[in-house]
């Protein structure tokens, strides 16, 4: 199977780049399944039902979230109705929506998608390791699921690498999100799970993690707010990770994808 994961879409610039590129990518790369992190798609803060639809239309099979999941109030209702929209699994029991889903890809294969949030330098959620373990155990790779993808939304590289090893042999891909910067450490771990510490954002990299740079700079320098944070509007780089799975759903190949904007392009052959 050929899977593509795209990192946090930041604002209009990121959305437009994904919507314009993804249809062609799906075809040219012969993608079977596409997952996108959409936690910053709506003006940098959260996501709306309309944006979800736009992304499904462009070729997304599932959308994951993160700490910005609830920035747009309508997401709370939408996440209940729309089973392709996944919020971090380690919110407390009773949280609206779901933290994982088993989907049928266009080729008929079953793809497990899990979203979880890190706790180092972030808000204290339920244990992400226990939570991901449960989801993977409920739906074993190579048995119930033909592919399994974990979007681990976290800050600390240590926690993200630990999650990669924790899932090694049980997931097709563990990919980090939230830092908004793609890492150059794509690898297949010893047990067969593809791993990249962060997918990077789909957004304008002439910015501070996707936001227009004046206000973040102002705050770092003066320690006082002057205005709001708004997404940078220059051309976005679409950032993600491509994985090809083999027998048993483990990874045979992992490649970064970076297209458009300011970053050096990387496109899996």
Contact (CB, 8 A) for 240 and 4 = yes
Site residues for a copy of itself, 239-268, by CB under 8 A, read 256, 258, 262-264, 266
Judged by CB under 5 A, does residue 90 bind Fe ion? no
For residue 41, how many other CB atoms are within 10 A of its CB?
A: 31
Judged by CB under 5 A, does residue 66 bind Fe ion? yes
165 annotated binding-site participant:
no
Single out the residue of 48, 49, 157, 260 in contact with a copy of itself (rule: CB under 8 A).
157
Lookup: tokens for 207 = 């910015």
Contact (CB, 8 A) for 154 and 175 = no
Contact (CB, 8 A) for 171 and 136 = yes
Within 8 A by CB and 6+ apart from 232, the residues are 10, 11, 13, 203, 204, 206, 207, 210, 211, 212, 213
Site residues for a copy of itself, 170-209, by CB under 8 A, read 179-187, 189-190, 197-198, 200, 205-209
Instruction: Give whichever of 142 and 216 is closer to a copy of itself, judged by the CB atom.
Output: 216
Contact (CB, 8 A) for 161 and 197 = yes
Contact (CB, 8 A) for 184 and 157 = no
Lookup: tokens for 226 = 């002057």
Q: Is 68 a catalytic residue?
A: yes
Judged by CB under 5 A, does residue 155 bind Fe ion? no
Within 8 A by CB and 6+ apart from 29, the residues are 2, 4, 242, 268
Q: Which does 46 bind (CB under 5 to 8 A by kind): Fe ion, a copy of itself, none?
A: none
Judged by CB under 8 A, does residue 120 bind a copy of itself? yes
90 annotated binding-site participant:
no
78 annotated binding-site participant:
no
140 by DSSP, 3-state: which? coil
Q: Which one of 9-17, 48-56, 114-122, 138-146 is the stretch in contact with a copy of itself (CB under 8 A)? A: 114-122
178 annotated binding-site participant:
yes
Pairwise CA distance, residues 101 & 59, whole Å: 17
Binding region for Fe ion (CB under 5 A): 8, 39-40, 66-67, 178
Binding region for a copy of itself (CB under 8 A): 70, 76, 91-95, 119-121, 123-127, 129-130, 155-159, 161-162, 165-166, 179-187, 189-190, 197-198, 200, 205-209, 213, 216-217, 220-225, 256, 258, 262-264, 266
Would you please indicate which residues are annotated as catalytic (active-site) residues? 68
């Amino acid at each position: 199977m050929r899977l593509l994961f795209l990192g946090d879409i930041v604002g209009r610039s990121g959305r437009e780049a994904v919507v314009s590129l993804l249809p062609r990518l799906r075809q040219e790369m012969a993608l079977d399944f596409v997952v996108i992190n959409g936690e910053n798609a709506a003006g940098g803060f959260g996501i709306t039902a309309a944006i979800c639809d736009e992304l499904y239309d462009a070729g997304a099979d599932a959308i994951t979230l993160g700490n910005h999941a609830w920035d747009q109030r309508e997401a709370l209702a939408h996440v209940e109705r729309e089973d392709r929209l996944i919020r971090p699994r380690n919110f407390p029991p009773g949280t609206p929506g779901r933290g994982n889903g088993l989907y049928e890809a266009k080729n008929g294969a079953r793809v497990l998608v899990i979203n979880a949030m890190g706790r180092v330098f972030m808000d204290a959620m339920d244990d992400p390791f226990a939570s991901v373990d449960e989801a993977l155990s409920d739906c074993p790779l190579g048995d119930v699921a033909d592919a399994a993808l974990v979007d681990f939304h976290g800050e600390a590289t240590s926690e993200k690498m630990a999650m990669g090893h924790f899932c090694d042999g049980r997931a097709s891909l563990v990919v980090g999100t939230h830092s908004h910067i793609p890492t150059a450490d794509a690898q297949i771990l010893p047990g067969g799970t593809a791993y990249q510490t962060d997918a990077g954002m789909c957004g304008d990299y002439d910015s501070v993690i996707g936001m227009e740079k004046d206000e973040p700079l102002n705050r770092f320098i003066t320690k006082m707010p002057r205005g709001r944070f708004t997404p940078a509007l220059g051309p976005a780089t679409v950032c993600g990770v491509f994985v090809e799975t083999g027998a048993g759903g483990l990874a045979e190949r992992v490649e970064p994808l970076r297209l458009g904007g300011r970053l050096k392009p990387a496109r899996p052959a």
